[in-house]
Amino acid sequence: MTSIKDVAKQAGVSIATVSLVLNNKGNISEETRQRVLQTVERLGYTRSIQARNLREQQSRTIGYAQRTQRGEFNPLLDRFLYELVNRIEPTGRHLLLFQSEPKVRITPYEELIKSRRVDGFVLSYTEAGDERFRYLHEAGVPFVAFGKSSTELDNVTHWVDVDGQYGIYIATEHLIQQGHRRIGFIGWPPGSASGDLRFQGFQDALTDYGIAIQPDLICRAHNQIEHGHQAAQKLLQLPQPPTAVVCVSDILAIGAMQYFNQANRRLAITGFDDTPTAAFTYPALTSVRQPIEEVTKLLVDMLLAQLDGQTVLVKQHNLKPELIIRASSLLDD
C-alpha cells in the first residue's frame, strides 16, 4: 500500500510538506502543492479523494445545522433530514451535520467556510429577518433554504417553502364548514416566519367567513407537547371555551389532545405536518400534509446547480400543502 513517505519521495518533498498540502495548511507554493496532489493521485494514495477535492477547491460536503433544544423533538424535520440525505448521497456528496444555537447562528457557518470543510449549505429553522440569508448571500456561498427570511433577500436567494398560510386557512375553513364558530388557535410565539404566516391564514379564514377574531382564543406556545397541553388547559378554563382548535403543528395538537382526553372533553382539532404519529392518535388527527419529498428534490437540485456553476431559472418555490381529514375534526365520528 502506498504510504505518505512514498508520496514525499516521488514528489521530491518532505513528509511534513505532503501533510500540510493534504490538510490545506501552511505556506506552500502553488507549484509544489499541485505536484504533491498529482503524485497522490498517480500513486493511488488512500487520501487521493481528499487531494482531488482540494485541487478542485471542493470538499464535496454540504453543511446542515441542527438545532435541538432539551425536551423538543421535531418529526417533520427528522423526515426532512432523511429525505435530504437520500437526495444528496447518490450525487457523490455528503451531508455534514453541525449544531447551531439561536443566539450565535452565524459563528458555525463562518468557521466552516473559513476551514473550507463545506461547499454550500442547506438552511432550515428559518425565521423572520434570518441573518444567515444575508451573511451567506454577501459571502457568495451557495445555499438553499427550507423556508424564507421574510426580507428583500427572498427575491434573490434560493428557497423552497410550503404555503403555511394556505394550509392553516383550509384547516380553519374545514372546521367552519363543520359548523364551528368559536375556534381556538395554538401557535408559536411571534417572530417565526412560518408561524406568523400560519396565524395570518387563521385570521384570513375567520374574516372571509364573517367570524370575529377573539384574542382570548389565541394561545402562543413553543413547539413541545407539554406546551400544547398547557395551551389546551388555558382554553378550557375560559368562561366560553372554543368548540374547535387549530394548531400550527402536530406536536402542539397532540399535546392539546392529551389534555382534552384527560379532561374528558371532545373538541374538534387540527394539526399541521401530518407526521407519522398523526394517524395513530386518539382520535386520529386531521392534519395539513407538507410535500417533503418534493421540497428536498427542489432544494438539492438548486444547490447542485449552483455548485456546478449553472443558472437556476426558478429560484423560489412556494408549494401547496394538502389537508388530510381524520376523526379528530369530525365530532360525529
Confidence category of residue 1, pLDDT binned at 50, 70, 90 = low
List where CATH 3.40.50.2300 sits in the chain.
61-161+292-319, 164-290+323-329
* Residue where the block lists cell 382564543: 217
Cell of 172: 380553519
Domain 164-290+323-329, CATH class in plain words: alpha beta
- Length of the chain equals 333
Overall fold of domain 4-55: 434 Repressor (Amino-terminal Domain) (1.10.260)
Confidence category of residue 114, pLDDT binned at 50, 70, 90 = confident
Q: Whole-model pTM?
A: 0.78
What is the layout of strands, in order, in the sheet containing 244-247?
Answer: 218-220, 183-187, 244-247, 268-273, 286-289, 322-324
The HSE-up count of residue 250 (CA atoms within 13 Å, CB side) is 25
Q: What is the pLDDT of residues 144-174, one digit of tens each?
A: 999 988 888 899 999 999 999 999 999 999 9
Residue 117: is its pLDDT beyond 70? yes
Whether a cis peptide bond, with omega within 30° of 0, leads into 142 is no
Q: Which residues pair with 65 in a beta bridge?
A: 98
Q: What angle do CA 269, 272, 278 make, to 5 degrees?
A: 70
pLDDT of 217:
98
Contacts of 144 (CB under 8 A, 6+ apart): 120, 121, 122, 123, 158, 159, 160, 299, 300, 302, 303, 306
Window from 29-38, 210-219, 281-290, 295-304 with minimum mean pLDDT? 29-38
Q: Give burial (CB, 10 Å; 0-12/13-18/19+) of 101.
A: exposed
Q: What is the pLDDT of residues 169-195, one digit of tens each?
A: 999 999 999 999 999 999 999 977 789
- C-alpha 27/C-alpha 233 separation (Å) is 64
* Contact criterion met (CB below 8 Å) for 326 and 285: yes
Cell of 91: 450525487
Confidence category of residue 19, pLDDT binned at 50, 70, 90 = confident
Q: Which residues pair with 100 in a beta bridge?
A: none
How many other C-beta atoms are found inside a 10 Å radius of the C-beta of residue 94?
A: 13
Taking residues 290-310, what's their average pLDDT?
95
If one compares 41 and 145, the residue with the highest pLDDT of the two is 145
* CATH tag for 61-161+292-319 (out of 3.40.50.2300, 1.20.1250.40, 3.30.420.40, 1.20.1080.10): 3.40.50.2300
Q: What is the pLDDT of residues 53-80, one digit of tens each?
A: 444 567 899 999 987 665 566 788 889 9
* Residue where the block lists cell 398560510: 165
For the chain, what percent of residues have pLDDT higher than 90? 65
- C-alpha 169/C-alpha 174 separation (Å) is 9
Cell of 197: 404566516
CA distances from 267 to 175, 204, 226, 258 (A): 11, 22, 18, 11
Residues 154-186 as b/e (b if ≥16 CB within 10 A, e otherwise) read beebbbbbbbbbbbbbbbbbbbbeeebeebbbb
- C-alpha 269/C-alpha 261 separation (Å) is 12
pLDDT of 48:
44
Q: What is the pLDDT of residues 222-256, one digit of tens each?
A: 999 999 999 999 999 999 999 999 999 999 999 99
pLDDT of 57:
65
If one compares 153 and 25, the residue with the highest pLDDT of the two is 153
Q: What is the pLDDT of residues 43-59, one digit of tens each?
A: 877 554 444 444 456 78
pLDDT of 109:
92
- C-alpha 196/C-alpha 198 separation (Å) is 5
Question: Which three-class secondary structure string do you get for 67-131?
Answer: CCCCCCCCHHHHHHHHHHHHHHHHHCCEEEEEECCHHHCCHHHHHHHHCCCCCEEEECCCCCCCH
Which amino acid does the sequence have at 151? T
